[in-house]
Amino acid sequence: MQKPGVLFGAEPGHRKAAIAAACELERQGFPHLFCPYDYGLPEGDWISNIAEVYDALSLSSAILQATHEMRVGTGISVTYMRHPADVAAAASFNHEISDGRFLLGLGPGANEFLERFDIQPERPLPHMRRYVERVRAAASRQPLPPILVAAVRPRMIRLAFEIADGPLGANWALSHMSALLNEVPAELRQGAEIHNIAPIWISDDRAEGLAFMRRFLGLHMQLANFRAYFAAAGFVDEVQRVEAALATGDTTAVEAAISERMADDIGIFGTRSQIHDKVDAWQDAGVTLTVSTLLTIKNQPEAVLRVADLFD
């Protein structure tokens, strides 16, 4: 089994510790990290109370300068938060100082997230096409790193192959991957990178892991784009139960609507051997896997080092 990548956040007050933890992951042979657009949330809430954003490009740059071999990328840099010329300059800088180890993950973010910052989103497909074109145009005399486009549903995945170096997915269902990728012509997929970020819970207590997955997926079920994807992936009953619960504001029922089958298809939890088997299955599907510890515990450096212990 190859070790997966790690989604790697850094909270205020823990940023130096995060960079030290990234160096330890490199020492242990982890191949890549993705730094998310991250945000401060009050306890127990979600999109409605987002208060601040932590920058993925800055964290990526700091880790690249502290490491020597692992690839480091943004997972993602939100397009509406930065002008494409600014992104092009930062991405080219990271590409050069890292000797080509940087990956630029771009995506518009969820509409529910953007609304918190008074941003009126455009239609996502033409927006991403224009944005990537403008990034490339702004860097006409600067080398750029590989570009990955955040994609969950088929049309955005196809666009990621057309205009960039591949898709960066999140919370894809393993059982749905073959059908999802088969919607993209083979000639577009040839030589491209296909990444997925999957939630992981590290515990031998399966019930504990299932409870976490229900919380994690329940949060994402509040986003319309994910509900549409989950329904297309075969979880229509779960989505219908969630929408009924959302209509009444019953967040407990939202989590309860997540079936064990759904949690197991999307998340990675269980015993050590079960977790290793799931990582193998993703890799066998031709997908470069990144595991996400976000929402696991507050101290992200501690969380990612638990991941390192799991794959030691």
Q: What is the pLDDT of residues 58-75, one digit of tens each?
A: 999 999 999 999 999 999
Residue 47 has pLDDT above 60, yes or no: no
d(CA 237, CA 16): 44
- H helices, E strands: number in the chain: 15, 11
Residue range 200-227, pLDDT digits in tens: 998 889 999 999 999 999 989 999 999 9
What is the DSSP pairing of strand 5-7 with strand 71-74?
unpaired
pLDDT of residue 280: 97
pLDDT of residue 301: 84
Rounded mean pLDDT of the chain? 92
d(CA 163, CA 259): 36
Contact 10, 63 (CB under 8 A): no
Residue 39 has pLDDT above 60, yes or no: no
d(CA 63, CA 72): 7
Residue 120 has pLDDT above 60, yes or no: yes
CA torsion angle for 103, 109, 113, 118 (degrees, to 10)? 100
Contacts of 197 (CB under 8 A, 6+ apart): 7, 34, 75, 168, 169, 170, 171, 290, 291, 292
11 — pLDDT class (breaks 50, 70, 90): confident
Neighbours of 283 (CB within 10 A): 14
Beta-ladder partners of 197 = 170, 290
With residue 213 as reference, give the H or E element that holds it.
helix 206-220
> The pTM is what?
0.94
pLDDT of residue 49: 55
Residue range 222-276, pLDDT digits in tens: 999 999 999 999 999 999 999 999 999 898 999 999 999 999 999 999 999 999 9
* Domains, in order of start, for the chain: 5-205+271-310 (3.20.20.30)
